[in-house]
Every structure is written in C-alpha cells, then in structure tokens.
Amino acid sequence: MMRIILCKLVVLLIFLAQMQQLHAQSSKVESSFSPTGWKTIPSSIDSSINKLAPSSTLQIEFNPFKRNVNYPVLIGMGAAFLGTGTAIHLYQQKAWWSNERSSFHFQNDWGYALWIDKIGHAYGAMLIQHGISAGLEAANLDAEECTLYGSAAALAFQTFIEIEDGFGPQWGFSPGDFYGDVFGSAYPVLQYYVPFFKDIMFKASYWPKDLNKTNPSSGQEHIIADDYHGQKFWISLRMENLLPKNLSEIWPDFLMLAGGMGVKNLDGSGGGTRDFYLALDIDTEKIPLYGSFWQFIKNTLNYLHLPMPGIRVTSGFAAFAFCY
C-alpha cells in the first residue's frame, strides 16, 4: 500500500526543486533562460523531448569521470532516496508492526477499491520516477540514463513498500498493486523511446472526502494516499499533436482533453460506484516561464489535472460539472 509514500514524496520534490534552482543559478548557459534557448535544457525536464529520436541501441556507459557531473546534487539525490526509504521502513514498523508481524504472504485485493488503488500505485511510481529523473538531470547525467535509472529506482522503491506490506498482518504483498508499480515505472521509458506517448499523460486531482476519518478496515486514520473517495485519476491528451493538421492549427496549444475516473460508496469488499468524467485540461508546459527550474515546476504541475469544466457520468446519469 502507498499509505505514506505521498507525504515523503512531497519532501523529495521540495528537495529536488531546491537542487534544480541551485543548478540553474550555477549554469553559465544564458540561452537556457530565454524563450528561444530553453530547448537546451536537459530533455527529461524539457517538453522538447517529443522531438528526440531514441538511440538505436540500449547501451549505457556510466563513467562520471568523463563528464561534468554535479557531485553535490548526485550525492544529495542518493541520500534523499535512501533516507526516504529508511524513514518509511521505520514509520511502518512503529505504526503497524511494533507488537505483531506476520510471516510474508500475498493478498489478492483486486476488488478492494474498484481499481482506483491500483491506478494510484501506477501514478505514484510515475511521480517518483519524475522526481528522481529530474534530480539526476540536475546532476548532469544524460536524458537516457536519467529515464532508465529513474524508472529502475522508482520500481525498486515501490517493490520495497510492497515487500514490507507482505509482512503486515492486515495487508500482504498485492500482485495487483505490484502490476501498477511496474506499469507506472515503465511508462516514462515508453514515452522516451516512443515519443507519441508523450502526448498521453496520466494525471490526478484531489479534494478531501475521508481525510483524517477512521479507516474501518485498518482502524487507522485516512491520509491523502488512501482517501480514495477524494481522488480522481485522468488520462490527458495533447490534442494539438493528435488531431488532423487542419484541426490542430485552430486548437489552442495549451488546451488538453482528459478522461477521468473517481469512486464513491466503497465498502472495502468490491462494493461501490465508479464515476466517469470528460473534461478540458491545461498543459502547464505552455506557461511562458523559462529556465531549468521553471521547466521542472511546469513539468511537475503537469501531473495534476487542474479544475476545468466537463461532463460527469454517474449511475447512468450525465451532467455538466466543474471537474476537480
């Protein structure tokens, strides 16, 4: 389960933003701070990656002595990654296993929350990959390495959490959660090697519903990560790049189209209702702010579906709604 990842991820993203700002200030490449020069920014934090062609072979030589690696940032990334994993382990041990700990076991919970928890695992893995990859870019590793190492680290992190859950008496190693982790970790790699998928983005939105209320299944208070009634997950499309040319020329480049899903009335045993949404969305990468720090911020914001008008379909009934 991802009951604590989100809180720690916020700390990690704050750290990465600071590293990105430090990196931007130390850079002497003036073109990276101008509207015409920002495409020189490392590709994993630059939407111009859409135009990059993948390398013909998957060969990576990790020899930092041959390049201008920013070692303080690289060391900081490693420390943040290991520190976050250690903190989560200690927190879970204190919260759930201080008095009891079962043997490792599996738990199939496909119907637990109408799949929104599985989608959440995939989304969480994408966020972690994004943060680690951007941090490695700030340390001057190249885009391909950052994509692959970021995905590998995200999968390792999520797998660690699943293994820990496998020893929890109330939980267990969930194959469904793990499949979500694998998909979420692998999707950025697919986007890198097949740029078409850069126009298909996974996003989330949240409005508190059960936050701080008691979870009847575990007896613990809900946090954002398991407040499923307040979560919505979206697939957003860059319509300008997907429409025929005659239509794409008149489609606003900042406007995306998104389909989303939320849930309500969950009972923890497969009961409940899914709500579906079709709404407009904003491509935050089109915000006219430039430089590596701002590109990181814009790219991070693009993991969120911002409140926009749309259509909500629930229990066979459709209505216009402000979707958030």
* pLDDT tens digits, 195-212: 999 999 999 999 999 887
CA dist 153 and 3 (Å) reads 19
Angle between helices 71-96 and 5-26 (to 10 degrees): 170
Domain that holds residue 88: 5-323
CA dist 254 and 300 (Å) reads 16
Does the structure show a pLDDT above 70 at 55? no
Does the structure show a pLDDT above 50 at 252? yes
Return the sign of the alpha-carbon dihedral for residues 288, 289, 292, 293.
Answer: negative
Does the structure show a pLDDT above 60 at 123? yes
The residue-averaged pLDDT of 72-91 equals 83
What pLDDT band is residue 86 in, cutting at 50, 70 and 90?
Answer: confident
pLDDT at residue 50 in the model: 45
Q: Say which amino acid occupies 18.
A: Q
pLDDT at residue 139 in the model: 92
For 170, list phi and psi in degrees, rounded to 5: -100, -5
Q: How much of the chain, in percent, has pLDDT values that exceed 70? A: 75
Which strand (E) or helix (H) includes residue 124? Answer: helix 116-138
Q: Per the structure, how many domains does the chain have?
A: 1
Q: Kindly give, in sequence order, each residue whose CB lies less than 8 Å from that of residue 269, ignoring residues fewer than 6 positions away.
A: 111, 112
The residue-averaged pLDDT of 32-57 equals 43
pLDDT digits (tens, 9 = 90+) for 260-301: 999 999 987 888 999 999 999 999 999 999 998 999 999 999
What pLDDT band is residue 100 in, cutting at 50, 70 and 90?
Answer: low
CA dist 278 and 319 (Å) reads 11
Does the structure show a pLDDT above 90 at 176? yes
Asked if 154 and 129 count as a contact pair (C-beta separation under 8 A), the reply is yes
Take residue 161 and report the two structure tokens written for it: 């959490």
The DSSP bridge partners found for residue 311 are 278, 320
Does the structure show a pLDDT above 90 at 59? no
Which strand (E) or helix (H) includes residue 312? Answer: strand 308-314
pLDDT digits (tens, 9 = 90+) for 154-173: 999 999 889 988 888 778 89
Does the structure show a pLDDT above 60 at 12? no
Tracing tokens 């929890």 back to the chain, one arrives at: 168
The residue-averaged pLDDT of 180-198 equals 98
pLDDT digits (tens, 9 = 90+) for 223-240: 888 899 999 999 999 999
Does the structure show a pLDDT above 90 at 222? no
